[in-house]
């Protein structure tokens, strides 16, 4: 077993309980580093609800692949296992399930998984990084460790995760090793990451746009290709926040394809009509006062200056062109072109071992007799909300069976 994260711990636990001599090699000097930092240190363990609904949150091809795994080891199975170790959880209104303990609870979740792994009799080797894979289809011969030693086994399970947050141990290097052995893979790709902007607004760092939708346009005609309802937050380099994380993957894909633009639909309705009405009903209202009710204060002065609109101008004096500009601004607040997505900053990495190359009932790599893969090393990336850990636990469970 390589990789002592969410998937690897569950796989090792199940394999050892089934009576297999199980050795778990983990590059870090402790298990479950990513679980420890998950959910801001609280760990959003899974998502509540029937498994059909949990599956529906994944893109359709991923959901099809994950169905056997998520039914074999469900969200309730994960929570029962944790409860037996004294970690109790509850679902929030939005379906995200967290431990009841609050701050620091991710460390307790990790400790619970580690306890079941060790009790099952797994030999855990920490500070042990796999450097390469030795063998040829249909049989892997050994894991080549960083110190040059070979670790031989009858069966190998790879659970080394993705390529984001490399300081937590996940560098993604075994994907290239698998590809070299002929296993079909898709390259790593950023997902659930902040989106850098070609023209960032560092002076707006910390400002949020709320209650609207982030809209992605792409292609020669700038057609809307995706949108996600949720807040965004300006950062020094671009935007973050729930809607930015969810659109990061399609934004990067559109950018690579050649043309992409982002805007924020503030859901303001018929702004032009409202402005025309206001010019009659409240002719002395200053433009700046009106705009500050709809946009954060820090944003108002610069956007008016950039459009050559005097902030003190009264509604009655607002020229038609300026009125149209303001209406367009609130309809789709322009954010510009996305910059190059940063794989390292993603909560997950898209890409990985292609799902078509893996048996969804066992996680065995097709064409190989003794090789299984699970967790984020697979080409699976769900949305924020506990889905990714659940996918890791469930695929790990099947891989260890």
Ligand X SMILES: Cc1cc2nc3c(=O)[nH]c(=O)nc-3n(C[C@H](O)[C@H](O)[C@H](O)COP(=O)(O)OP(=O)(O)OC[C@H]3O[C@@H](n4cnc5c(N)ncnc54)[C@H](O)[C@@H]3O)c2cc1C
**Nearest approach, Cβ of 270 to ligand X (angstroms)?**
39
Quote the CA–CA distance of 193 and 26 in Å, as a whole number.
25
Question: How, if at all, do strands 123-126 and 23-26 pair?
Answer: parallel
Q: Is 242 in the site for ligand X (CB under 6 A)?
A: no
**Nearest approach, Cβ of 177 to ligand X (angstroms)?**
9
Quote the CA–CA distance of 308 and 287 in Å, as a whole number.
12
Tell which residue, 357, 347, 397, has the closest CA to residue 162: 347
Quote the CA–CA distance of 1 and 26 in Å, as a whole number.
9
Quote the CA–CA distance of 330 and 203 in Å, as a whole number.
20
Which range touches ligand X (CB under 6 A), out of 162-170, 207-215, 259-267, 275-283?
A: 162-170
- Nearest-Å Rg of the Cα atoms of the chain is 25
- Site map (CB under 6 A) of ligand X, residues 365-384, x = contact: ----------xx--------
Nearer to ligand X, 39 or 351 (CB): 39
Q: Is 388 in the site for ligand X (CB under 6 A)?
A: yes
Which 169-198 residues touch ligand X, going by CB under 6 A? Answer: 169-171, 173-174
Which range touches ligand X (CB under 6 A), out of 3-11, 57-65, 115-123, 356-364?
A: 3-11
Residue 132: strand, helix, or coil: strand
Nearer to ligand X, 38 or 212 (CB): 38
Quote the CA–CA distance of 392 and 127 in Å, as a whole number.
22
**Are 211 and 350 contacting, i.e. CB atoms less than 8 angstroms apart?**
no
**Are 357 and 183 contacting, i.e. CB atoms less than 8 angstroms apart?**
yes
* Neighbour-count burial of 68, counting CB atoms closer than 10 A to its CB (0-12 exposed, 13-18 middle, 19+ buried): middle
Q: Is 397 in the site for ligand X (CB under 6 A)?
A: no
Which residues have a Cβ under 8 Å from the Cβ of 346 and sit 6 or more positions away?
162, 164, 165, 190, 191, 192, 193, 248
Q: How many residues bind ligand X (CB under 6 A)?
A: 39
Which range touches ligand X (CB under 6 A), out of 26-34, 222-230, 242-250, 268-276?
A: 26-34
**CA distance to 112, 160, 225, per residue, from 378 (Å):** 25, 10, 26
Closest residue to bound ligand X by CB: 5
**Are 188 and 162 contacting, i.e. CB atoms less than 8 angstroms apart?**
yes
- Site map (CB under 6 A) of ligand X, residues 120-159, x = contact: ---------xx----------------------------x
**Nearest approach, Cβ of 30 to ligand X (angstroms)?**
9
Q: Is 353 in the site for ligand X (CB under 6 A)?
A: no
Among 22, 23, 38, 62, binds ligand X (CB under 6 A): 38
Q: Is 6 in the site for ligand X (CB under 6 A)?
A: yes
- Site map (CB under 6 A) of ligand X, residues 41-80, x = contact: --xx------------------------------------
Q: Is 95 in the site for ligand X (CB under 6 A)?
A: no
Which residues have a Cβ under 8 Å from the Cβ of 358 and sit 6 or more positions away?
65, 364, 365, 366, 373, 378
- Number of neighbours of residue 156 by Cβ within 10 angstroms: 23
- Tell me the backbone φ, ψ of residue 395, rounded to 5 degrees: -70, -35
Q: Is 218 in the site for ligand X (CB under 6 A)?
A: no
Q: Is 160 in the site for ligand X (CB under 6 A)?
A: yes
Among 34, 36, 255, 372, binds ligand X (CB under 6 A): 34
Among 24, 33, 185, 335, binds ligand X (CB under 6 A): 33
Q: Is 292 in the site for ligand X (CB under 6 A)?
A: no
Q: Is 37 in the site for ligand X (CB under 6 A)?
A: yes
Footprint of ligand X (CB under 6 A): 2-8, 25-28, 33-34, 37-39, 43-44, 129-130, 159-161, 164-165, 169-171, 173-174, 347-348, 375-376, 386-389, 392
């Amino acid at each position: 077993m390589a990789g002592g994260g969410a998937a690897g711990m569950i796989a090792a636990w199940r394999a050892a309980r089934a009576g297999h001599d199980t050795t778990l090699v983990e590059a870090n000097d402790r298990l479950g580093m990513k679980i420890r930092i998950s959910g801001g240190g609280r760990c959003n363990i899974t998502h509540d609800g029937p498994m059909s609904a949990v599956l529906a949150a994944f893109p359709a091809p991923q959901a099809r692949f994950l169905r056997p795994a998520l039914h074999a080891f469900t969200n309730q199975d994960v929570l029962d296992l944790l409860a037996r170790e004294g970690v109790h959880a509850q679902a929030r209104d939005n379906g995200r399930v967290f431990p009841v303990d609050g701050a620091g609870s991710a460390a307790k979740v990790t400790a619970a998984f580690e306890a079941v792994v060790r009790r099952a009799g797994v030999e855990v080797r920490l500070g042990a990084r796999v450097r390469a894979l030795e063998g040829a289809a249909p049989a892997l011969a050994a894991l080549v460790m960083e110190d040059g030693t070979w670790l031989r086994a009858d069966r190998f399970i790879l659970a080394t995760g993705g390529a984001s947050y490399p300081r937590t141990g996940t560098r993604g290097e075994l994907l290239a090793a698998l590809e070299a052995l002929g296993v079909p893979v898709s390259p790593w790709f950023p997902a659930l990451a902040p989106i850098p902007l070609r023209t960032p607004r560092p002076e707006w760092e910390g400002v949020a746009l709320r209650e609207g939708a982030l809209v992605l346009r792409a292609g020669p005609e700038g057609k809307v290709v995706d949108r996600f309802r949720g807040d965004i937050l300006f950062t020094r380099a671009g935007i973050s926040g729930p809607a930015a994380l969810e659109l990061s993957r399609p934004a990067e894909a559109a950018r690579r394809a050649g043309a992409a633009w982002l805007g924020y639909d503030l859901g303001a309705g018929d702004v032009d009509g409202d402005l025309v009405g206001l010019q009659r009903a409240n002719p002395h209202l200053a433009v700046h006062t009106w705009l500050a009710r709809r946009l954060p204060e820090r944003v108002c002065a610069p956007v008016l200056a950039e459009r050559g609109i005097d902030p003190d101008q009264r509604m009655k004096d607002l020229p038609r062109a300026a009125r149209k500009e303001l209406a367009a601004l609130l309809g789709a607040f322009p954010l510009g072109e996305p910059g190059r997505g940063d794989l390292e900053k993603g909560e997950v990495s898209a890409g990985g071992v292609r799902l078509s190359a893996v048996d969804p009932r066992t996680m065995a790599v097709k064409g190989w007799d003794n090789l299984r893969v699970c967790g984020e090393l697979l080409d699976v990336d769900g949305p924020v909300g506990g889905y990714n850990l659940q996918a890791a636990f469930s695929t790990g469970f099947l891989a260890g069976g």
